[in-house]
Amino acid sequence: MRNPAIVLVATQMPENIGAAARAMMNFGLTDLRLVAPREEWPNKRAHDLAGHASGILDNAKIYATTREAVADCRRVYAATARSREMVKEVWPPAEASARILAEAVPTAILFGPERTGLTNDDVTIADAIITIPTAPENASLNIAQSVVVVAYQWFVSAWQQEKESRDNDAAPYAIPGRKLRGQPGTTGPQASPVAHKSEFATKEDLQVLFDHLERELDAIDFWKVADKKPKMWLNLRNIFTRNALTQQEVRTLHGVIAELRDS
C-alpha cells in the first residue's frame, strides 16, 4: 500500500508548500502533488522552509487541474473546515486515517488555497471530507498547520494499526512497516467495512463516467435553465462520488446512460 498523496491546490505562498513538505517528511509521507501553484516552481522560498525535506519538493508532481492530480487514485479526501451544502461524509483526522488504512487503496488528500479554501468543484471530486476539530469560535487553521495535523494523525494511526496487527499475529519481531504494507485486508479499530480494494473505480474511471453523463444531459437539455446547471451538476456528481463506486458499478452506469439515450 502506498501512503496517501498530499495534494496542495492553488497554494499561494511557497513557504506553505515547504512547510507541508517538512511535515510530510516527519510523518513518513512522500507523495506531494501541486495543482497550479500560484508562484513559479521550483521555488527557493519553498526550499528554504522545507529543510531536510527538499527531496520531497524535488519529486513533487505539478498538475494543471485537481482532476488530473488524482486521476490514478481510488479514494480522495478533501480537508476543509467549511461545511458545504453537500451530502458527504465528514470525518475527523483519526477516523479518516483509520478508513484510509482499512481501504488500502491509492488515496489522495486535498488541501485548498490559503484565502479561499477548496472550491466546491474540488470538494465534489472527493469521496469524503476531513475536518480537523477546533475550538468552535476559531475554525481557521492555516494550510501548513492542517497538513501537520493530518500527517501526524495518519502516522499515529498507521503505527497503532501496525502494532495491533503485530500483537494479533503473535509475531513480536516482525520487521517494522512490513505488516502494514503487506496486509491488504487489515482493518483499523474505527473503520467501517469497505469494498475490496481492487473493486474501487479510479477517479479517472469516474471522470469518464461524468463526461459521458454530462454529454448526454447536455444533449437532451436536461438543465433547462443554464444558470442552474453548475449547482445541479455538482449535486448530481456528489451522489456518485460519496458512494465509493466500484469499477463494475461504473460500467453498469455507463450502460444505463447509453441505454436511456438510445431508447
Sole residue written with cell 482493518: 187
Q: Verify binding: residue 87, a copy of itself, rule CB under 8 A.
A: no
Member of 23, 125, 201, 244 binding a copy of itself (CB under 8 A): 23
- Cα 59 versus chain centre, distance: 19
Do residues 69 and 108 make contact, with C-beta atoms less than 8 angstroms apart? Answer: yes
* Per CB under 8 A, 159 contacts a copy of itself: yes
Is 175 among the residues that bind a copy of itself (CB under 8 A)?
A: no
Contacts of 16 (CB under 8 A, 6+ apart): 8, 49, 114, 142, 143, 144
- Give yes or no for a contact between 11 and 34, defined as CB atoms under 8 angstroms apart: yes
Q: Please give the C-alpha separations between residue 219 and each of 213, 215, 233, in angstroms, as whole numbers.
A: 10, 6, 14
The correct pick among 71, 90, 94, 208 for binding a copy of itself (CB under 8 A) is 94
Of 97-105, 109-117, 146-154, 230-238, the window that binds a copy of itself (rule: CB under 8 A) is 146-154
Selected binder of a copy of itself within 9, 25, 105, 109 (CB under 8 A): 25
Q: How far is CA 103 from CA 71, 74, 152, 183, 226, in A?
A: 17, 10, 19, 11, 38
Options 59, 116, 142, 243; binder of a copy of itself; rule CB under 8 A: 142
53 is an interface residue for a copy of itself by CB under 8 A: yes
* Contacting positions for a copy of itself (CB under 8 A): 19, 22-23, 25-28, 51-53, 92, 94, 132-135, 138-142, 145, 148-149, 152, 155-156, 159
